[in-house]
Amino acid sequence: MTSAEGMQRLTDCRDRVDDIDVRILELLNERTRVVEEIGRVKRELGLPIYEPKREDEVFHNVTTKNSGPLPPEAVKRVFERIIDEMRQVQRARMIAQQAGHAEQGQE
Amino acid sequence: MTSAEGMQRLTDCRDRVDDIDVRILELLNERTRVVEEIGRVKRELGLPIYEPKREDEVFHNVTTKNSGPLPPEAVKRVFERIIDEMRQVQRARMIAQQAGHAEQGQE
């Protein structure tokens, strides 16, 4: 492989990474929308937002379906971050709604 | 919405989340394979594995293409985790290769 060939291969690989990242991003946003719907249903039913058992199911789903090369512990850590970020979005939304209700109550 | 309808909706949402997660997982593994190829090309060209400028490009790519509802800071933190995990995979592979070379050298 010449230096020019190598640089071209690097460029191609980076384009592929950028493309994969945009697809991951779209799925993350789709996931956030579904998680928000879960939050709405739970509030309407009066169910707790945080359910550790469900989180275990999420980890079980991805780690058992993982064929690599990313190791299972790495997969788990990435999904821990995803779950944590979506929980923060939910929390921010709840606080905003409660503030909205409080303001309405004052009128 | 009755309680039964709500529970059914929760089940449907969770199935959708599980499905999205498997698609994210596939993309993470595809990304890992491309990152491994980048590592091989870089080693052959004698280029450094770690390039902070390229990481900035990765963050720029996903944050500028993000249309939400996941906030940009959350997107950045998820990709920080993804990049970090793949860097660890690269590092482990390099150490394994160096150990392999050392063993070969002893023969």
Least CB-CB distance to B30: which of A6, A20, A38?
A20
Instruction: Provide the pLDDT confidence category of residue B41 given band limits of 50, 70 and 90.
Output: very high
Residue B73 pLDDT > 90: yes
Instruction: Provide the pLDDT confidence category of residue A66 given band limits of 50, 70 and 90.
Output: very high
Residue B107 pLDDT > 60: no
Distance CA A77, CA B28 (A): 12
Q: How close B105 gets to chain A, by Cα (Å)?
A: 25
> Which tens digits make up the pLDDT trace of B76-93?
999 999 999 999 998 888
Which whole number is the average pLDDT over A37-55?
91
CA nearest neighbour of A106 among A40, A93, A98:
A98
Least confident among A48-52, A67-71, A85-89: A48-52
Average pLDDT, chain B: 92
A91 at B interface, C-beta within 8 A: no
Cα radius of gyration (chain B):
20
pTM: 0.92
ipTM of the complex: 0.92
Beta carbons of B62 and A31 less than 8 Å apart = no
Whether the Cβ atoms of residue B9 and residue A12 lie closer than 8 Å to each other:
no
Give me the residue label for tokens 């739970």: A42
Q: How close B77 gets to chain A, by Cα (Å)?
A: 8
Q: How close B47 gets to chain A, by Cα (Å)?
A: 10
Beta carbons of B24 and A29 less than 8 Å apart = no
Give me the residue label for tokens 């944050």: B63
A96 at B interface, C-beta within 8 A: no
Instruction: Provide the pLDDT confidence category of residue B94 given band limits of 50, 70 and 90.
Output: confident
B74 at A interface, C-beta within 8 A: yes
Residue A97 pLDDT > 90: no
Beta carbons of A6 and B44 less than 8 Å apart = yes
Which comes out higher in pLDDT, residue B60 or B97? B60
How far is residue A1 CA from its own chain's centroid? 39
Which whole number is the average pLDDT over B31-48?
94
Instruction: Provide the pLDDT confidence category of residue A46 given band limits of 50, 70 and 90.
Output: very high
Q: Taking the CA of residue B38 as centre, how many other CA atoms within 13 Å lie in the half-sphere pointing to its CB?
A: 24
Least CB-CB distance to A85: which of B6, B58, B78?
B78
